[in-house]
Structure 1
Amino acid sequence: MIAMRYRIALPADYPMEIIERRIAERGHLTDGLPGLGLKAYLYSRAGEDGAAANAYAPFYLWRTSEGMRDFLSGPGFAALCASFGRPAVESAFAWFGQWSGDVAEARYAMVEKLPMAASTGMGALIDVQEGWRGGEDVLAVAAAFDPASWTLVRLSLSRRPFEPDGGGARELYRVGRVSLG
């Protein structure tokens, strides 16, 4: 699998209802998308649920590179670019991705980006993945690594909000919708 995400920073006075409406009206278009495992429509409102800023930040788990390619070159992503400009798209090799049948009930998300020390062996990533499952309210988890920046990226989707870490390694979001391929 391939993890993919982009984050569109929005002004402090941006009416976030526009993002919520966009998700409600267009989110179903990625249901059943070829090559997609899971797409979480993530967004944040400054000052709510531990979020520092307004943002729209979808997170994808692709089963195939062709699905990712076709999405990025297709009309849905073109419409996003027309509205917000072309975002920088981050991708990483997924070590792990698992979600429950009731993942659509997720309302909160946490994305962590953690640097991997040069002394960290790849076997340690497997240990991190195996020990990181979340609590009973967690409905989806994923772990991926970006070998260009040697960064570990982790996603968790939950029914309940996450606590901010205070150090900035966690990005906290609301989940507007979850689509499955």
Structure 2
Amino acid sequence: MIAMQYSFTLPANYDMTIIDRRIRDKGPLLDNFPNLKFKAYLSARKADAVTSSTENLYAPFYVWEKGEGLSDFICGPGFETLTQSFGWPQVKTWIVWNAEVSKHIRAARFATREIIDIEPYAPLAEIRKRESDAVSADVARNEALASVAAFEPGSWTEVRFRLWADLPKSARQLGAQTYSVGHLSLPDTN
């Protein structure tokens, strides 16, 4: 699996209802997209009391079952249209250690994302196990509706991504980037 995110920082006075409308109109187009575990359409508003963002952001987060799904999307017309509207983003990718999704994922209203530097020569197997176990525990305890732990060996970073029904107070204490979820694209479960 591969996790992926790109982010557009928008001007402080940007009309974020444009992003809300884009999510509403374009979000369902990726429902049932081949090899997509989920896509969370995320936004954050500057000075929003709930997400406490310092910037206006549009920052979708994806988890791909297979690399072909990511490649098909990036090379497809939807991504081309996005880049024509917002520019050519830097796309971050991470190799997924573990990704768990609750059967209640559709109730997600908020997301958190932490990017953590991995110290040189850190015990990667231990980090992988610890982070993978935390992912499983988050969902098993019904604390998160989805939980992802992944790493990127080019920059030696790990990502912790969670979807929530209610934003936990600890998100701000951890220094996590917080988002509102506008839509979730998921595979058909029927």
TM-score w.r.t. length of structure 1: 0.94
1:171 aligns with 2:177: yes
* Alignment-derived partner of residue 127 in structure 1: 130
**How far off is 1:119 after superposition?**
3.1
* Alignment-derived partner of residue 36 in structure 1: 36
* Alignment-derived partner of residue 108 in structure 1: 110
Structure 1 Cα separation of the partners of residues 86 and 173 of structure 2: 29
Q: CA RMSD in A?
A: 1.4
* Alignment-derived partner of residue 7 in structure 2: 7
Structure 2 Cα separation of the partners of residues 50 and 39 of structure 1: 22
How many residues align? The count is 180
Q: What whole-Å deviation, never above 9, does each CA across 1:50-69 have from its counterpart, x for those lacking one? A: 21110000000001111100
Structure 1 Cα separation of the partners of residues 66 and 130 of structure 2: 25
Name the aligned partner's letter for residue 156 of structure 1: R
| Structure with greater helix share of residues | 2
1:62 aligns with 2:51: no
Structure 2 Cα separation of the partners of residues 105 and 37 of structure 1: 16
- Runs (5+) with no aligned partner, structure 2: none
Contact 1:142 1:154 in 2 (8 A): yes
Q: What whole-Å deviation, never above 9, does each CA across 1:6-65 have from its counterpart, x for those lacking one? A: 010000000110101111111000000011111000100011122111000000000111
Would you identify which runs of 4 or more consecutive aligned residues in structure 1 move more than 2 Å?
131-137, 162-168
Contact 1:109 1:162 in 2 (8 A): no
1:150 aligns with 2:156: yes
**How far off is 1:120 after superposition?**
1.4
Structure 2 Cα separation of the partners of residues 176 and 104 of structure 1: 11
The DSSP-based 3-state class of the residue aligned with 1:165 is helix
Aligned ranges 1:80-119 → 2 under 5 Å: 80-119=82-121
Structure 2 Cα separation of the partners of residues 161 and 58 of structure 1: 17
Structure 2 Cα separation of the partners of residues 167 and 173 of structure 1: 14
Percentage of identical aligned residues: 39
**How far off is 1:115 after superposition?**
0.4
The DSSP-based 3-state class of the residue aligned with 1:176 is strand
Name the aligned partner's letter for residue 95 of structure 1: W
The DSSP-based 3-state class of the residue aligned with 2:145 is strand
**How far off is 1:128 after superposition?**
2.2
* Alignment-derived partner of residue 16 in structure 2: 16
Contact 1:137 1:160 in 2 (8 A): no
Structure 2 Cα separation of the partners of residues 62 and 128 of structure 1: 19
Name the aligned partner's letter for residue 84 of structure 2: A
- Runs (5+) with no aligned partner, structure 1: none
